[in-house]
Amino acid sequence: MSFGDRRTSPDLTGDLQWRRGEDLRDPENARFRVPRFGHGSRVPGWDEAVDLTKDPAVIPDPATTPVPEELRREIEELMAKYPDRRSASIPALHAAQAVHGWCSPQAIDQVACVMRLTPAYLTSVASFYDMFKLTPKAHNDVFVCTNISCSLLGADEFHEAMVAAAEGEDINVASFECLGACDIGPMASVNGEYVGPLQLADAAQIVEDLRAGRPVLAAKQLRYRRCQDPDVQAEGDDFGPPSDAPRADTAGLTHLEAKTDRPGEEGAPTEIPPQTKDDA
Amino acid sequence: MSTKILFDRIDEPGLNTLPVYERRGGYESLRKALSMPPEDVLSQLMDSNIRGRGGAGFPMGRKVSFLPHGDMDKYLVCNADESEPGTFKDRELMQKTPHMLIEGIMIAAYAGGISRAFIYIRGEYQLQADILEAAIAEAANAGYIGERILGSDFSCSLVLHRGAGAYICGEETGLLDSLEGKRGNPRLKPPFPAIEGLYAGPTLINNVETLSTAPAIIRMGGAEYAKHGTETSTGTKLISISGDVKRPGNYEIELGIPSREIIYGLAGGPPSGKKVKFWFPGGSSSPVLTGDDLDIPYDFDSMAKAGTMLGSGAIIIADESRRVLDTMLKVVKFYAHESCGKCVPCREGTNWTHKMVQRIYAGEATPMDLDIMASVQEQIIGNCLCVLGDAMAMPVGSMVKKFRAELEAEIEAARERADHAAVEDVVALGVADEHAGPLPVH
């Protein structure tokens, strides 16, 4: 079994929970089929040394690494904003993730090629931050905050309801650390748009709104919330939300036509080529 | 009606755009500051005695004065990576009055002789980042950012940088590494960022709220601003209240008012008349206080005297129906997830504490575990590069100390539940039939 399979395997840290009595090393257990070496481990054993005859991965060659023109221009503009081009690595990965749907090996290669950095360096950055996904994911993100304030008000129950409602849909539901909107707890970020306070019934509504491609839970969006300070409220009723700011909540659907790197999807490469020579 | 400095008519429509902000006297403070020598602007900031609003409470004016003088590349980084659980004040400021922050950044940059400014905003705040980006473009077009601002000799650029979801990047040196495009690992201090920070140059790092106050300080004069609040905690402070209260939200208060007035007066207290059981006075990193501590004045020094801290001004209330253990698990899980893994005491301490709390739930813990847990917290504090580990150790240590009886009862109850479950398993397996007498428990 090669390392290449690992990228298509299920994300073990996600919704797969170990059940009591289940043997994780059981090769017959389909829920946990993970690429493994002959001795059953996920990493090479002590007797399988790193192949020192292979060269380490280098900065991808522009001649053999096609980069979408728009993405290249965006990354180049980002690099120009900083005294050191490395500073643009997080914004550039954001841009690449928006194009590819996740930080796929191709996405990382393309960013590395434009920024003249090694894929290893960018992978180390991408794996540090929660918003970058190194495994294929659904188009729509629903991050449910399950931190202290929200969980006091029932966020864990809502998270369960949301997972159930999103079953079989193109929606990635994750419990997230504090999103900075405890005043509307329990809350969730749907493709970046903050909504709350949520009730259990809202889970189905979120799915429906996403499917219809309309603003999600428009009445519960944070952008329309007024300041709670009573002395501020006394200033008058003509409150205007920042409506001219771009909307985020339907972003996932507008990208549906975009070419993505999800294996098995039409237009996506059927087999992910090895990212580096070492990976083969 | 209390003084509103930051929240003054903040819900006015279109305040996030330049014309409305200018109509209300926006950027007049920048104009005034640029007409003064930088030393005078700095002394106004010093006179105001404003303390950093991000969590540590270090006086802002002194921070600016630490920057070396001379003609060199100096940097200002606005810390908008607001991820301390319970905190959401900067979000409201950036969303509703972004130009106030931009003006404050330019004033602070002028005082420190800084030529490059950055705003590091957390990646989850997409709406706020979009609004800020539009505001920066507007301000740059109008000549408030860029070369020779308002016809003076002062030039400063401003770049918005979006993070990607890591709590540790709110720590100042972790933020700098992240801004340099690396993993957000904190650095060894000293050298402090004021001497060697971003790109190894002198760097001033301040919170959104601190910088947003700068225009008001210049407008009112530092001495006038210092008249608000208490002697050592001057000015107004935004506080974020959440959890079991009737009216969660952001409020602007004068420092030094009794905590009860905030929790019951402004936020309405816990719904359905329950009592406050425990509360975090300054985000999830602050040691908890109990319902008996509601009369402590809400300012930096009184909170420190009570053995806790004002932190970012985020109050989380839990009423008497809540279990301490549940909140403890949330706190511990959060820090175990967010530890960057650079320093051993934090990486191992947060993870092992998480496992110990899970042991309590599984019914495998004994009261002795609480002692071990407390000692782990003591081993973390002060032994790491940054205070993330301390931020878990302090609330957990205070919970063990203040709610020990309740936690011991939880341990006992969980053990009993686990024992019963074990007996039921044995019965279900049919082993029980082979026993002549009653089942041996354990």
pLDDT digits (tens, 9 = 90+) for A43-70: 666 776 766 776 777 899 888 889 999 9
Residues A116-129 as b/e (b if ≥16 CB within 10 A, e otherwise) read ebbbbbbbebbebb
Of A148, A194, A231, the CB nearest to B86: A148
Contacts of B126 in chain A (CB under 8 A): 192-193, 248
Instruction: Report the amino acid identity of residue A70.
Output: E
Cα angle, residue B373 at apex, residues B357 and B334 outer, rounded to 5°:
50
Selected for mutation to probe chain B from A156, A223, A228, A229 (highest B CB count within 10 Å) is A229
pLDDT, average across residues B98-107: 97
d(CA B98, CA B268): 29
Structure tokens, B305: 């005297």
Rounded Cα–Cα distance for residues A277 and A4 (Å): 11
pLDDT for B145 beyond 60: yes
Q: What is the pLDDT of residue B93?
A: 94
B260 touches chain A (CB under 8 A): no
The three-state DSSP-derived secondary structure of B22-40 is HHCCCCHHHHHHHCCCHHH
Q: Which two tokens stand for residue A250?
A: 């339907």
Q: Rounded mean pLDDT of A213-229?
A: 88
Residue B56's pLDDT is 83
Which among B2, B130, B338 has CB closest to A245? B130
Q: Does residue B306 sit at the A interface (CB-CB below 8 Å)?
A: no
Do residue A128 and residue B183 have CB atoms under 8 angstroms apart?
yes
| pLDDT of B436 over the 80 cut | no
Best of A148, A216, A233 to substitute, by most chain B Cβ atoms within 10 angstroms, is A148
Identify the residue whose tokens are 């950027």: B27
User: Exposed (0-12), middle (13-18) or buried (19+): which is B4, by Cβ within 10 Å?
Assistant: middle
B146 Cβ neighbours under 8 A, 6+ residues apart: B140, B155, B156, B157
Residue B341, pLDDT above cutoff 50: yes
Residues 6+ apart with CB under 8 A from B423: B439, B441
Q: Bridge-partner residues for A175, per DSSP? A: A144
**pLDDT for residue B370:** 94
Reply yes or no on whether the pLDDT at A277 is more than 90.
no
H helical segments located in B277-383: 300-305, 324-338, 344-362, 367-380
Cβ distance B52 to B300 under 8 Å? Answer: no
Contact B276, B319 (CB under 8 A): yes
Distance of alpha carbon A36 from alpha carbon A248, whole angstroms: 40
Residues B202-215: what's their mean pLDDT?
96
pLDDT by residue (tens digit) across B263-294? 999 999 999 889 999 999 999 999 999 999 99
Taking residues A99-106, what's their average pLDDT? 89
Q: Is the pLDDT of residue B45 over 50?
A: yes
* B237 DSSP β-pair partners: B253
What pLDDT score does A272 carry? Answer: 43
Residue A214 — very low, low, confident or very high, per pLDDT cuts 50/70/90? confident
Helices (H), B122-195: 126-141, 172-179
Predicted confidence (pLDDT) at residue A276 exceeds the cutoff of 50: no
Contact at CB, B13 and A89, closer than 8 angstroms: no
User: Model-level pTM greater than 0.90?
Assistant: no
The pLDDT, as a whole number, for residue B196 is 93
A227 pLDDT band, cuts 50/70/90, is confident
- Sequence-distant (6+) residues with CB within 8 A of A52 are none
Report d(CA B214, CA B193) in Å as an integer.
21
Mean pLDDT score across all residues of chain B = 92
Confidence at A259, pLDDT banded by 50, 70, 90: low
The Cα B390–Cα B396 span in angstroms is 10
Q: Quote the percentage of chain A above a pLDDT of 70.
A: 66
pLDDT in tens, B364-423: 999 999 999 999 999 999 999 999 999 999 999 999 999 999 999 999 999 999 999 988
B33: distance to nearest CA of chain A, Å? 27
Q: Tell me, yes or no, if B92 comes closer than 8 A to chain A by beta carbon.
A: yes
Element housing A97 (H / E):
helix A89-100
In B, minimum Cα distance to A80 occurs at B159
Residue A151 with chain B: CB contacts under 8 Å:
326, 330
pLDDT higher than 60, residue B11? yes
Span B106-133, average pLDDT: 95
Phi, psi of A119 (to 5 degrees): -60, -30
Query: Alpha-carbon Rg of chain A, whole angstroms?
Result: 22
C-alpha span between B289 and B308 (Å, rounded): 8
